[in-house]
DNA sequence: CTTAAATGTCTATTGATATAGACAACTAGA
DNA sequence: TCTAGTTGTCTATATCAATAGACATTTAAG
Protein backbone atom coordinates (compact mmCIF):
# COMPACT_ATOMS: atom_id res chain seq x y z
CA UNK A 1 0.00 0.00 0.00
CA UNK A 2 1.60 3.21 -1.11
CA UNK A 3 0.91 6.89 -1.02
CA UNK A 4 2.03 9.61 -3.36
CA UNK A 5 0.89 7.77 -6.45
CA UNK A 6 -2.15 9.72 -7.44
CA UNK A 7 -4.54 7.11 -6.12
CA UNK A 8 -5.82 7.78 -2.62
CA UNK A 9 -5.19 5.04 -0.07
CA UNK A 10 -8.88 4.75 0.72
CA UNK A 11 -9.62 4.10 -2.94
CA UNK A 12 -6.92 1.43 -3.28
CA UNK A 13 -8.37 -0.24 -0.21
CA UNK A 14 -11.92 0.06 -1.56
CA UNK A 15 -10.76 -1.67 -4.76
CA UNK A 16 -9.18 -4.51 -2.79
CA UNK A 17 -12.20 -5.02 -0.57
CA UNK A 18 -14.47 -4.99 -3.62
CA UNK A 19 -12.32 -7.67 -5.22
CA UNK A 20 -12.32 -9.73 -2.03
CA UNK A 21 -16.10 -9.57 -1.91
CA UNK A 22 -16.38 -10.57 -5.58
CA UNK A 23 -13.99 -13.48 -4.94
CA UNK A 24 -16.28 -14.68 -2.15
CA UNK A 25 -13.70 -14.34 0.62
CA UNK A 26 -16.29 -13.13 3.14
CA UNK A 27 -19.14 -15.44 2.16
CA UNK A 28 -18.96 -17.31 5.46
CA UNK A 29 -19.93 -14.26 7.50
CA UNK A 30 -22.03 -12.36 4.96
CA UNK A 31 -20.22 -9.27 6.12
CA UNK A 32 -16.88 -7.54 5.86
CA UNK A 33 -14.40 -7.83 8.77
CA UNK A 34 -14.59 -5.08 11.42
CA UNK A 35 -13.02 -1.74 10.57
CA UNK A 36 -10.21 -2.14 13.09
CA UNK A 37 -9.33 -5.57 11.68
CA UNK A 38 -9.22 -4.26 8.13
CA UNK A 39 -7.19 -1.25 9.28
CA UNK A 40 -4.53 -3.47 10.81
CA UNK A 41 -4.58 -5.87 7.83
CA UNK A 42 -3.97 -3.03 5.40
CA UNK A 43 -1.70 -1.18 7.79
CA UNK A 44 -3.71 2.04 7.78
CA UNK A 45 -5.81 4.08 10.13
CA UNK A 46 -9.37 3.09 10.85
CA UNK A 47 -10.62 6.35 9.34
CA UNK A 48 -9.01 5.45 6.03
CA UNK A 49 -10.85 2.12 6.02
CA UNK A 50 -14.06 3.99 6.83
CA UNK A 51 -13.56 6.15 3.74
CA UNK A 52 -13.13 3.01 1.64
CA UNK A 53 -16.25 1.38 3.07
CA UNK A 54 -18.21 4.60 2.58
CA UNK A 55 -17.30 4.49 -1.11
CA UNK A 56 -18.43 0.86 -1.37
CA UNK A 57 -21.68 1.74 0.42
CA UNK A 58 -22.19 4.51 -2.13
CA UNK A 59 -21.85 1.88 -4.87
CA UNK A 60 -24.44 -0.27 -3.14
CA UNK A 61 -22.00 -3.11 -2.49
CA UNK A 62 -22.08 -2.96 1.33
CA UNK A 63 -24.30 -1.45 4.01
CA UNK A 64 -22.95 -0.46 7.43
CA UNK A 65 -25.14 -1.10 10.49
CA UNK A 66 -24.04 0.45 13.75
CA UNK A 67 -23.34 -2.16 16.39
CA UNK A 68 -23.55 -5.13 13.97
CA UNK A 69 -21.01 -4.62 11.23
CA UNK A 70 -20.79 -3.89 7.53
CA UNK A 71 -23.06 -6.21 5.58
CA UNK A 72 -22.47 -7.35 2.00
CA UNK A 73 -25.38 -6.37 -0.25
CA UNK A 74 -24.18 -7.56 -3.67
CA UNK A 75 -21.21 -9.63 -4.64
CA UNK A 76 -21.30 -11.54 -7.91
CA UNK A 77 -19.92 -10.66 -11.30
CA UNK A 78 -22.02 -11.29 -14.39
CA UNK A 79 -20.39 -13.75 -16.75
CA UNK A 80 -20.70 -12.94 -20.43
CA UNK A 81 -19.85 -15.75 -22.88
CA UNK A 82 -18.17 -14.88 -26.17
CA UNK A 83 -18.34 -17.37 -29.01
CA UNK A 84 -19.25 -17.62 -32.68
CA UNK A 85 -22.86 -17.33 -31.61
CA UNK A 86 -22.57 -14.48 -29.15
CA UNK A 87 -25.99 -13.07 -28.24
CA UNK A 88 -26.28 -10.52 -25.50
CA UNK A 89 -29.60 -11.43 -23.95
CA UNK A 90 -29.04 -15.19 -24.21
CA UNK A 91 -25.55 -14.76 -22.78
CA UNK A 92 -26.79 -13.10 -19.62
CA UNK A 93 -29.27 -15.96 -19.33
CA UNK A 94 -30.64 -16.31 -15.83
CA UNK A 95 -27.79 -14.36 -14.20
CA UNK A 96 -30.16 -11.43 -13.91
CA UNK A 97 -33.90 -11.33 -13.47
CA UNK A 98 -34.65 -8.08 -15.29
CA UNK A 99 -32.96 -7.42 -18.62
CA UNK A 100 -33.42 -4.20 -20.60
CA UNK A 101 -32.06 -2.85 -23.89
CA UNK A 102 -32.43 0.89 -24.37
CA UNK A 103 -31.86 2.88 -27.54
CA UNK A 104 -30.21 6.14 -26.48
CA UNK A 105 -29.69 7.67 -29.90
CA UNK A 106 -29.38 6.84 -33.57
CA UNK A 107 -28.04 8.71 -36.56
CA UNK A 108 -27.00 8.31 -40.16
CA UNK A 109 -23.47 9.39 -40.90
CA UNK A 110 -20.39 9.04 -43.07
CA UNK A 111 -18.23 6.28 -41.59
CA UNK A 112 -14.65 6.79 -40.45
CA UNK A 113 -12.09 4.92 -42.59
CA UNK A 114 -11.66 2.41 -39.76
CA UNK A 115 -15.35 1.56 -39.60
CA UNK A 116 -15.82 1.55 -43.38
CA UNK A 117 -12.94 -0.91 -43.56
CA UNK A 118 -14.30 -3.20 -40.87
CA UNK A 119 -17.71 -3.33 -42.55
CA UNK A 120 -16.06 -3.63 -46.01
CA UNK A 121 -18.11 -0.73 -47.38
CA UNK A 122 -17.43 0.83 -50.79
CA UNK A 123 -16.34 4.48 -50.78
CA UNK A 124 -19.14 6.97 -50.30
CA UNK A 125 -21.36 4.57 -48.35
CA UNK A 126 -23.35 5.78 -45.36
CA UNK A 127 -23.78 4.00 -42.06
CA UNK A 128 -26.39 4.01 -39.34
CA UNK A 129 -25.07 4.38 -35.81
CA UNK A 130 -26.96 3.09 -32.76
CA UNK A 131 -26.10 4.12 -29.23
CA UNK A 132 -27.47 1.56 -26.82
CA UNK A 133 -27.44 0.90 -23.11
CA UNK A 134 -28.18 -2.46 -21.55
CA UNK A 135 -29.18 -3.06 -17.99
CA UNK A 136 -29.44 -6.15 -15.84
CA UNK A 137 -31.48 -5.83 -12.66
CA UNK A 138 -31.57 -2.09 -13.31
CA UNK A 139 -27.77 -1.69 -13.20
CA UNK A 140 -26.08 -0.62 -16.44
CA UNK A 141 -23.94 -3.49 -17.74
CA UNK A 142 -22.98 -2.25 -21.19
CA UNK A 143 -22.85 0.85 -23.31
CA UNK A 144 -22.45 0.19 -27.04
CA UNK A 145 -21.94 2.13 -30.25
CA UNK A 146 -22.91 -0.01 -33.26
CA UNK A 147 -22.60 0.68 -36.95
CA UNK A 148 -24.62 -0.87 -39.80
CA UNK A 149 -24.54 -0.32 -43.57
CA UNK A 150 -27.27 2.25 -44.22
CA UNK A 151 -28.32 0.90 -47.62
CA UNK A 152 -29.04 -2.56 -46.20
CA UNK A 153 -30.32 -1.68 -42.72
CA UNK A 154 -32.19 1.61 -43.08
CA UNK A 155 -34.70 1.74 -40.26
CA UNK A 156 -32.89 -0.66 -37.94
CA UNK A 157 -33.03 1.97 -35.20
CA UNK A 158 -36.81 1.74 -35.07
CA UNK A 159 -36.68 -2.07 -35.14
CA UNK A 160 -34.25 -2.10 -32.22
CA UNK A 161 -36.21 0.48 -30.24
CA UNK A 162 -39.31 -1.71 -30.56
CA UNK A 163 -37.71 -5.00 -29.53
CA UNK A 164 -34.64 -4.03 -27.46
CA UNK A 165 -32.75 -6.81 -29.25
CA UNK A 166 -30.29 -6.75 -32.14
CA UNK A 167 -31.15 -10.33 -33.05
CA UNK A 168 -34.84 -9.45 -33.40
CA UNK A 169 -34.02 -6.28 -35.35
CA UNK A 170 -31.88 -8.24 -37.79
CA UNK A 171 -34.72 -10.68 -38.45
CA UNK A 172 -36.86 -7.79 -39.65
CA UNK A 173 -34.21 -7.26 -42.35
CA UNK A 174 -34.04 -10.88 -43.43
CA UNK A 175 -30.90 -11.70 -41.44
CA UNK A 176 -32.09 -14.90 -39.81
CA UNK A 177 -28.73 -15.77 -38.35
CA UNK A 178 -25.35 -14.13 -37.82
CA UNK A 179 -22.02 -15.02 -36.26
CA UNK A 180 -19.33 -13.22 -34.34
CA UNK A 181 -16.25 -13.03 -36.58
CA UNK A 182 -13.76 -11.16 -34.41
CA UNK A 183 -13.74 -9.74 -30.91
CA UNK A 184 -11.00 -7.50 -29.53
CA UNK A 185 -10.88 -6.98 -25.78
CA UNK A 186 -9.01 -4.30 -23.90
CA UNK A 187 -9.34 -2.51 -20.58
CA UNK A 188 -9.05 1.19 -19.79
CA UNK A 189 -9.92 3.59 -17.04
CA UNK A 190 -13.46 4.93 -17.21
CA UNK A 191 -13.74 8.26 -19.00
CA UNK A 192 -16.21 11.03 -18.23
CA UNK A 193 -18.84 9.48 -20.49
CA UNK A 194 -18.50 6.09 -18.80
CA UNK A 195 -18.95 7.67 -15.40
CA UNK A 196 -22.23 9.17 -16.58
CA UNK A 197 -23.55 6.29 -18.71
CA UNK A 198 -22.53 3.35 -16.57
CA UNK A 199 -22.84 5.06 -13.20
CA UNK A 200 -19.20 4.52 -12.26
CA UNK A 201 -16.80 6.47 -10.10
CA UNK A 202 -13.45 7.83 -11.34
CA UNK A 203 -10.68 5.27 -11.39
CA UNK A 204 -13.13 2.49 -12.22
CA UNK A 205 -12.14 0.03 -14.94
CA UNK A 206 -14.01 -0.43 -18.19
CA UNK A 207 -13.69 -3.52 -20.38
CA UNK A 208 -13.89 -2.54 -24.05
CA UNK A 209 -14.85 -4.97 -26.82
CA UNK A 210 -14.66 -4.24 -30.53
CA UNK A 211 -16.73 -6.83 -32.33
CA UNK A 212 -17.64 -7.69 -35.91
CA UNK A 213 -20.73 -9.72 -36.73
CA UNK A 214 -21.22 -11.30 -40.15
CA UNK A 215 -24.22 -12.91 -41.82
CA UNK A 216 -24.20 -16.52 -43.01
CA UNK A 217 -22.65 -15.47 -46.35
CA UNK A 218 -19.71 -13.99 -44.46
CA UNK A 219 -20.69 -10.39 -45.19
CA UNK A 220 -20.15 -7.96 -42.30
CA UNK A 221 -23.46 -6.73 -40.90
CA UNK A 222 -22.54 -5.01 -37.64
CA UNK A 223 -19.50 -3.48 -36.04
CA UNK A 224 -19.73 -2.41 -32.42
CA UNK A 225 -17.63 -0.96 -29.66
CA UNK A 226 -19.04 -1.90 -26.28
CA UNK A 227 -17.96 -0.77 -22.82
CA UNK A 228 -18.63 -2.87 -19.68
CA UNK A 229 -17.99 -2.03 -16.01
CA UNK A 230 -15.20 -4.42 -15.02
CA UNK A 231 -16.37 -4.74 -11.43
CA UNK A 232 -19.62 -6.25 -12.66
CA UNK A 233 -18.72 -8.20 -15.79
CA UNK A 234 -16.28 -10.84 -16.95
CA UNK A 235 -15.99 -12.68 -20.25
CA UNK A 236 -15.76 -16.37 -21.02
CA UNK A 237 -14.43 -17.64 -24.32
CA UNK A 238 -15.33 -21.23 -25.07
CA UNK A 239 -13.56 -22.75 -28.03
CA UNK B 1 -12.83 15.66 -14.76
CA UNK B 2 -13.60 15.54 -11.08
CA UNK B 3 -11.85 15.93 -7.79
CA UNK B 4 -12.61 14.42 -4.44
CA UNK B 5 -12.94 10.92 -5.79
CA UNK B 6 -9.78 9.34 -4.54
CA UNK B 7 -8.07 9.52 -7.89
CA UNK B 8 -5.80 12.52 -8.34
CA UNK B 9 -6.54 14.76 -11.30
CA UNK B 10 -3.01 14.35 -12.61
CA UNK B 11 -3.47 10.58 -12.69
CA UNK B 12 -6.80 10.78 -14.50
CA UNK B 13 -5.14 13.05 -17.03
CA UNK B 14 -2.16 10.73 -17.34
CA UNK B 15 -4.56 7.86 -18.09
CA UNK B 16 -6.32 9.88 -20.79
CA UNK B 17 -3.10 10.99 -22.43
CA UNK B 18 -1.81 7.41 -22.35
CA UNK B 19 -4.97 6.23 -24.08
CA UNK B 20 -4.72 9.02 -26.65
CA UNK B 21 -1.16 7.99 -27.43
CA UNK B 22 -2.16 4.32 -27.74
CA UNK B 23 -5.02 5.32 -30.05
CA UNK B 24 -2.52 7.10 -32.28
CA UNK B 25 -4.08 10.55 -31.87
CA UNK B 26 -0.69 12.26 -31.82
CA UNK B 27 1.02 10.19 -34.52
CA UNK B 28 1.19 13.14 -36.91
CA UNK B 29 3.50 15.12 -34.64
CA UNK B 30 5.30 12.32 -32.85
CA UNK B 31 4.84 14.31 -29.69
CA UNK B 32 2.20 15.31 -27.19
CA UNK B 33 0.61 18.78 -27.45
CA UNK B 34 2.28 21.54 -25.39
CA UNK B 35 1.58 21.62 -21.67
CA UNK B 36 -0.45 24.82 -21.88
CA UNK B 37 -2.62 23.38 -24.66
CA UNK B 38 -3.29 20.21 -22.69
CA UNK B 39 -4.00 22.27 -19.58
CA UNK B 40 -6.68 24.29 -21.33
CA UNK B 41 -8.11 21.16 -23.04
CA UNK B 42 -8.52 19.39 -19.72
CA UNK B 43 -9.44 22.56 -17.89
CA UNK B 44 -6.67 22.30 -15.31
CA UNK B 45 -3.51 24.11 -14.32
CA UNK B 46 -0.33 23.58 -16.27
CA UNK B 47 1.36 22.13 -13.17
CA UNK B 48 -1.27 19.42 -13.01
CA UNK B 49 -0.54 18.45 -16.61
CA UNK B 50 3.16 18.43 -15.76
CA UNK B 51 2.51 15.92 -12.98
CA UNK B 52 0.65 13.72 -15.46
CA UNK B 53 3.45 13.92 -18.03
CA UNK B 54 6.05 13.23 -15.36
CA UNK B 55 4.19 10.00 -14.52
CA UNK B 56 4.12 8.99 -18.19
CA UNK B 57 7.83 9.79 -18.48
CA UNK B 58 8.42 7.54 -15.46
CA UNK B 59 6.64 4.74 -17.34
CA UNK B 60 8.86 5.36 -20.36
CA UNK B 61 5.97 6.37 -22.60
CA UNK B 62 7.10 9.95 -23.22
CA UNK B 63 10.29 11.98 -22.85
CA UNK B 64 10.23 15.73 -22.28
CA UNK B 65 12.89 17.85 -23.98
CA UNK B 66 13.19 21.43 -22.89
CA UNK B 67 12.52 23.82 -25.75
CA UNK B 68 11.20 21.15 -28.12
CA UNK B 69 8.28 19.44 -26.48
CA UNK B 70 7.28 16.08 -25.00
CA UNK B 71 8.19 13.28 -27.38
CA UNK B 72 6.38 9.95 -27.62
CA UNK B 73 8.74 7.06 -26.94
CA UNK B 74 6.41 4.07 -27.14
CA UNK B 75 2.83 3.88 -28.23
CA UNK B 76 1.51 0.57 -29.48
CA UNK B 77 -0.37 -2.12 -27.63
CA UNK B 78 0.65 -5.70 -28.16
CA UNK B 79 -2.19 -7.75 -29.60
CA UNK B 80 -2.57 -11.22 -28.20
CA UNK B 81 -4.83 -13.59 -30.17
CA UNK B 82 -6.96 -16.10 -28.28
CA UNK B 83 -8.26 -19.12 -30.11
CA UNK B 84 -8.43 -22.89 -29.88
CA UNK B 85 -4.74 -22.90 -30.76
CA UNK B 86 -3.54 -20.18 -28.44
CA UNK B 87 0.25 -20.16 -28.17
CA UNK B 88 2.00 -17.38 -26.36
CA UNK B 89 5.16 -17.00 -28.38
CA UNK B 90 3.46 -17.50 -31.74
CA UNK B 91 0.73 -15.06 -30.70
CA UNK B 92 3.16 -12.25 -30.06
CA UNK B 93 4.65 -13.03 -33.46
CA UNK B 94 6.68 -10.15 -34.82
CA UNK B 95 5.06 -7.55 -32.58
CA UNK B 96 8.20 -7.66 -30.46
CA UNK B 97 11.77 -8.35 -31.42
CA UNK B 98 12.98 -9.95 -28.20
CA UNK B 99 10.78 -12.51 -26.47
CA UNK B 100 11.66 -14.13 -23.17
CA UNK B 101 10.01 -16.68 -20.90
CA UNK B 102 11.37 -16.83 -17.36
CA UNK B 103 10.64 -19.43 -14.71
CA UNK B 104 10.37 -17.55 -11.42
CA UNK B 105 9.49 -20.47 -9.17
CA UNK B 106 8.03 -23.95 -9.16
CA UNK B 107 6.60 -26.17 -6.47
CA UNK B 108 4.61 -29.32 -5.88
CA UNK B 109 1.49 -28.84 -3.81
CA UNK B 110 -1.99 -30.01 -2.94
CA UNK B 111 -4.43 -28.28 -5.28
CA UNK B 112 -7.27 -26.09 -4.09
CA UNK B 113 -10.72 -27.57 -4.78
CA UNK B 114 -11.16 -25.03 -7.61
CA UNK B 115 -7.98 -26.08 -9.39
CA UNK B 116 -8.51 -29.81 -8.79
CA UNK B 117 -11.95 -29.40 -10.33
CA UNK B 118 -10.70 -27.51 -13.37
CA UNK B 119 -8.03 -30.15 -14.05
CA UNK B 120 -10.52 -32.97 -13.23
CA UNK B 121 -8.10 -34.54 -10.76
CA UNK B 122 -9.10 -37.40 -8.45
CA UNK B 123 -9.03 -36.63 -4.72
CA UNK B 124 -5.57 -36.74 -3.18
CA UNK B 125 -3.75 -35.81 -6.39
CA UNK B 126 -0.82 -33.46 -6.32
CA UNK B 127 -0.11 -30.66 -8.76
CA UNK B 128 2.97 -28.83 -9.96
CA UNK B 129 2.75 -25.08 -9.96
CA UNK B 130 4.87 -22.90 -12.25
CA UNK B 131 5.28 -19.18 -11.73
CA UNK B 132 6.37 -17.60 -14.97
CA UNK B 133 7.09 -14.14 -16.30
CA UNK B 134 7.15 -13.27 -19.98
CA UNK B 135 8.79 -10.27 -21.51
CA UNK B 136 8.64 -8.67 -24.92
CA UNK B 137 11.41 -6.25 -25.77
CA UNK B 138 12.45 -6.43 -22.12
CA UNK B 139 9.12 -5.17 -20.78
CA UNK B 140 7.06 -7.61 -18.71
CA UNK B 141 3.90 -8.52 -20.62
CA UNK B 142 2.53 -11.36 -18.52
CA UNK B 143 2.80 -12.99 -15.14
CA UNK B 144 1.29 -16.46 -14.93
CA UNK B 145 0.59 -19.13 -12.35
CA UNK B 146 0.10 -22.51 -14.04
CA UNK B 147 -0.93 -25.85 -12.60
CA UNK B 148 -0.24 -29.30 -14.03
CA UNK B 149 -1.10 -32.80 -12.77
CA UNK B 150 2.01 -33.94 -10.89
CA UNK B 151 1.72 -37.62 -11.79
CA UNK B 152 1.70 -36.89 -15.50
CA UNK B 153 4.00 -33.86 -15.70
CA UNK B 154 6.61 -34.38 -12.97
CA UNK B 155 9.69 -32.46 -14.07
CA UNK B 156 7.91 -29.99 -16.33
CA UNK B 157 9.51 -27.14 -14.41
CA UNK B 158 12.94 -28.17 -15.64
CA UNK B 159 11.66 -28.63 -19.18
CA UNK B 160 10.16 -25.15 -19.13
CA UNK B 161 13.23 -23.55 -17.61
CA UNK B 162 15.33 -25.03 -20.40
CA UNK B 163 13.13 -23.96 -23.30
CA UNK B 164 11.14 -20.98 -22.00
CA UNK B 165 8.12 -22.42 -23.78
CA UNK B 166 5.15 -24.42 -22.56
CA UNK B 167 4.62 -25.94 -25.98
CA UNK B 168 8.18 -27.26 -26.03
CA UNK B 169 7.90 -28.52 -22.43
CA UNK B 170 4.71 -30.42 -23.26
CA UNK B 171 6.42 -32.15 -26.18
CA UNK B 172 8.95 -33.62 -23.76
CA UNK B 173 6.00 -35.31 -22.04
CA UNK B 174 4.48 -36.70 -25.22
CA UNK B 175 1.85 -33.98 -25.57
CA UNK B 176 2.39 -33.13 -29.22
CA UNK B 177 -0.59 -30.86 -29.47
CA UNK B 178 -3.05 -29.17 -27.14
CA UNK B 179 -6.01 -26.79 -27.44
CA UNK B 180 -7.45 -23.97 -25.41
CA UNK B 181 -10.78 -25.17 -24.02
CA UNK B 182 -11.97 -22.17 -22.02
CA UNK B 183 -10.68 -18.67 -21.36
CA UNK B 184 -12.18 -16.30 -18.80
CA UNK B 185 -11.19 -12.65 -19.01
CA UNK B 186 -11.64 -10.00 -16.36
CA UNK B 187 -9.96 -6.75 -15.38
CA UNK B 188 -8.91 -5.48 -11.97
CA UNK B 189 -6.69 -2.85 -10.45
CA UNK B 190 -3.07 -3.92 -10.06
CA UNK B 191 -2.26 -5.31 -6.62
CA UNK B 192 1.03 -4.98 -4.79
CA UNK B 193 2.41 -8.10 -6.48
CA UNK B 194 1.51 -6.79 -9.93
CA UNK B 195 3.27 -3.52 -9.22
CA UNK B 196 6.42 -5.44 -8.42
CA UNK B 197 6.23 -8.20 -11.05
CA UNK B 198 4.95 -6.20 -14.00
CA UNK B 199 6.60 -2.90 -13.11
CA UNK B 200 3.32 -0.99 -12.88
CA UNK B 201 2.24 1.98 -10.84
CA UNK B 202 -0.74 1.97 -8.45
CA UNK B 203 -4.07 2.48 -10.19
CA UNK B 204 -2.86 0.64 -13.26
CA UNK B 205 -5.18 -1.94 -14.79
CA UNK B 206 -4.41 -5.65 -15.08
CA UNK B 207 -6.19 -7.97 -17.49
CA UNK B 208 -6.64 -11.40 -15.91
CA UNK B 209 -7.18 -14.58 -17.92
CA UNK B 210 -8.08 -17.95 -16.44
CA UNK B 211 -7.40 -20.57 -19.08
CA UNK B 212 -7.73 -24.33 -19.44
CA UNK B 213 -5.71 -26.25 -21.99
CA UNK B 214 -6.58 -29.81 -22.97
CA UNK B 215 -4.74 -32.48 -24.94
CA UNK B 216 -6.15 -34.01 -28.13
CA UNK B 217 -8.09 -36.59 -26.08
CA UNK B 218 -9.89 -33.77 -24.28
CA UNK B 219 -8.07 -34.34 -20.99
CA UNK B 220 -7.11 -31.15 -19.11
CA UNK B 221 -3.34 -30.68 -19.06
CA UNK B 222 -2.85 -27.11 -17.82
CA UNK B 223 -4.80 -24.52 -15.90
CA UNK B 224 -3.35 -21.04 -15.65
CA UNK B 225 -4.16 -17.64 -14.27
CA UNK B 226 -2.28 -14.95 -16.18
CA UNK B 227 -2.05 -11.23 -15.51
CA UNK B 228 -1.27 -8.71 -18.28
CA UNK B 229 -0.68 -4.94 -18.03
CA UNK B 230 -3.71 -3.46 -19.79
CA UNK B 231 -1.82 -0.44 -21.07
CA UNK B 232 0.40 -2.76 -23.10
CA UNK B 233 -1.79 -5.68 -24.11
CA UNK B 234 -5.13 -6.35 -25.76
CA UNK B 235 -6.78 -9.61 -26.79
CA UNK B 236 -8.31 -10.68 -30.07
CA UNK B 237 -10.74 -13.56 -30.29
CA UNK B 238 -11.18 -14.97 -33.76
CA UNK B 239 -13.99 -17.41 -34.17
C1' DC C 1 21.50 37.22 -33.29
C1' DT C 2 16.88 37.63 -32.03
C1' DT C 3 12.62 35.81 -30.99
C1' DA C 4 8.81 32.64 -30.26
C1' DA C 5 7.66 28.52 -28.27
C1' DA C 6 8.50 25.11 -25.43
C1' DT C 7 9.89 22.86 -20.82
C1' DG C 8 12.13 23.61 -16.00
C1' DT C 9 12.09 25.62 -11.36
C1' DC C 10 10.72 28.30 -7.61
C1' DT C 11 7.31 30.44 -4.01
C1' DA C 12 2.81 30.73 -1.95
C1' DT C 13 -1.98 29.40 -0.83
C1' DT C 14 -6.06 26.42 -0.43
C1' DG C 15 -8.57 22.15 -0.08
C1' DA C 16 -8.31 16.97 0.10
C1' DT C 17 -6.09 13.00 2.24
C1' DA C 18 -4.24 10.43 6.20
C1' DT C 19 -3.14 9.74 10.98
C1' DA C 20 -4.25 9.93 15.93
C1' DG C 21 -7.12 9.85 19.88
C1' DA C 22 -11.36 10.09 22.47
C1' DC C 23 -15.92 9.10 23.22
C1' DA C 24 -20.91 8.35 21.82
C1' DA C 25 -24.42 5.12 20.08
C1' DC C 26 -26.11 0.87 18.75
C1' DT C 27 -26.46 -4.53 18.57
C1' DA C 28 -26.32 -9.07 20.17
C1' DG C 29 -25.42 -12.29 23.49
C1' DA C 30 -24.35 -13.75 28.29
C1' DT D 1 -29.30 -5.68 32.64
C1' DC D 2 -24.63 -5.63 31.65
C1' DT D 3 -20.85 -6.04 28.58
C1' DA D 4 -18.04 -6.83 24.55
C1' DG D 5 -17.86 -5.65 20.00
C1' DT D 6 -18.92 -2.69 16.50
C1' DT D 7 -20.04 1.61 13.82
C1' DG D 8 -20.69 6.90 14.21
C1' DT D 9 -18.88 11.48 15.26
C1' DC D 10 -15.81 14.94 16.71
C1' DT D 11 -11.20 17.56 17.18
C1' DA D 12 -6.49 18.24 15.84
C1' DT D 13 -2.29 17.93 12.99
C1' DA D 14 0.75 16.83 9.06
C1' DT D 15 1.25 15.74 4.22
C1' DC D 16 -0.36 15.53 -0.58
C1' DA D 17 -2.88 17.59 -4.54
C1' DA D 18 -4.17 21.58 -7.20
C1' DT D 19 -4.10 26.35 -8.40
C1' DA D 20 -1.65 30.69 -9.37
C1' DG D 21 2.07 33.52 -10.85
C1' DA D 22 6.80 34.66 -12.08
C1' DC D 23 10.89 33.84 -14.34
C1' DA D 24 14.81 30.81 -16.09
C1' DT D 25 16.46 27.68 -19.68
C1' DT D 26 16.55 25.34 -23.97
C1' DT D 27 15.37 24.63 -28.88
C1' DA D 28 14.34 25.80 -33.53
C1' DA D 29 13.28 29.05 -36.91
C1' DG D 30 13.60 33.59 -39.04
pLDDT at A145 over 90: yes
Is B175 contained in some domain?
yes
HSE-up of residue B64 (Cα within 13 Å, Cβ side): 15
- Residue ending a domain, among A72, A90, A118, is A72
Report which secondary-structure segment, H or E, holds B110.
none
Say what the pLDDT of residue A95 is.
66
pLDDT band at A116 (very low <50, low <70, confident <90, very high): very high
A97 in a structural domain: yes
Does residue A45 share a domain with residue A92? no
The answer on A44 and A114 residing in a single domain is no
Comparing alpha-carbon positions, the chain B residue that sits nearest to A192 is: B1
Strands B78-82 and B233-238: parallel
Same domain, B203 and B111: yes
Residue B151, number of CB atoms within 10 A of its CB: 12
Tell me which residue range forms the domain holding B127: 78-237
In a domain, residue A218? The reply is yes
Q: What is the pLDDT of residues B68-111, one digit of tens each?
A: 888 887 766 778 888 887 777 776 666 665 667 888 889 999 99
Question: Range with the lowest mean pLDDT among A73-82, A109-118, B125-134?
Answer: A73-82
Q: Looking only at Cα atoms, what is the longest distance across chain B?
A: 68
Tell me the C-alpha distance between B55 and B64, whole Å: 11
The verdict on residue B172 lying in a domain is: yes
* Chain B partners within 8 Å of A79 (Cβ): 184
Q: Is residue A3 part of a domain?
A: no
Domain harbouring B212, CATH code: 3.40.1410.10
CA distance B13 to B192: 23
Residues B178 and B106 in one domain: yes
Exposed, middle or buried by CB within 10 Å (0-12, 13-18, 19+), for B165?
Answer: middle
What pLDDT band is residue A188 in, cutting at 50, 70 and 90? Answer: confident
Say if A58 falls within a structural domain: yes
* Gap between the Cα atoms of B56 and A164, Å rounded: 42
The CA-based dihedral angle spanning residues A5, A11, A12, A17, taken in that order and rounded to the nearest 10 degrees: 180
pLDDT digits (tens, 9 = 90+) for A151-173: 999 889 999 888 888 898 999 99
**B185 closest CB neighbour out of A2, A235, A239:** A235
Is the domain of A54 the same as that of A109?
A: no
Q: Are residues B121 and B170 in the same domain?
A: yes
CB atoms within 10 A of CB B208: 18
- Whether the CA torsion B28, B32, B37, B40 is positive or negative: it is positive
Can you give the pLDDT at residue B97?
A: 59
Look at residue B172 and give its three-state secondary structure: coil
Burial label for B125, CB within 10 Å (0-12, 13-18, 19+), is middle
The nucleotide whose C1' lies nearest the CA of B31 is C6
Q: Check residue B26 and give its pLDDT.
A: 86
Q: Distance, angstroms, CA B9 to C1' D19?
A: 12
What pLDDT, on a 0 to 100 scale, did the predictor assign at position B214? 94
Q: Which residues contact A59 (CB under 8 A, 6 or more apart)?
A: A18, A201
Å from B5 (CA) to D16 (C1')? Answer: 14
Is there a domain that residue A156 lies in?
yes
Q: Which helix (H) or strand (E) holds A66?
A: none
Q: What number is the average pLDDT over the span A93-97? A: 63
- For A77-85, what is the mean pLDDT? 82
DSSP string, A23-40: TTTTTTTTEEPPHHHHHH
- Cβ separation of A7 and B8 shorter than 8 Å? yes
Asked if B32 and B101 sit in the same domain, the reply is: no
Which of B72, B95, B126 is the C-terminal boundary of a domain? B72
- A181 with A85, same domain? yes
User: Is the domain of A143 the same as that of A217?
Assistant: yes
CATH of the domain at A59: 1.10.10.10
**B60 plus B171 within the same structural domain:** no
Categorize the per-residue pLDDT at A5 as very low, low, confident or very high, splitting at 50, 70 and 90.
Answer: low
The domain total for chain B is 2
Regions in chain B scoring below 50 on pLDDT: none
pLDDT at A98 > cutoff 70: no
**Last residue in a domain, options B28, B56, B72:** B72
What residues contact B87, with CB distance under 8 A and at least 6 apart? B167
Q: What torsion, rounded to 10 degrees, do the Cα atoms B43, B46, B49, B51 define?
A: -140
Kindly state whether residue B59 falls inside one of the protein's structural domains.
yes
Q: What are phi and psi of B141, to 5 degrees?
A: -115, -15
Residues A103 and A50 in one domain: no
B104 and B14 part of one domain: no
* Contact residues, A window 54-73, toward B, CB-based 8 Å cutoff: 55
The answer to whether B192 contacts A82, with C-beta atoms less than 8 Å apart, is no
| Average model confidence (pLDDT) across chain A | 85
Rounded to whole angstroms, the distance from the CA of residue B64 to the C1' of nucleotide C9 is 15
Amino acid sequence: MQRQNGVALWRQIADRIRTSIADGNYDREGKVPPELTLASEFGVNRHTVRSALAALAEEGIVRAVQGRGTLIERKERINFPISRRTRFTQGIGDQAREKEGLLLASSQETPSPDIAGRLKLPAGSKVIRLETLRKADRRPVSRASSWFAANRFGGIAEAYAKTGSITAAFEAFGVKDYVRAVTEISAVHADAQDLADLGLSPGAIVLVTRALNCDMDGAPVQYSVTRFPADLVQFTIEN
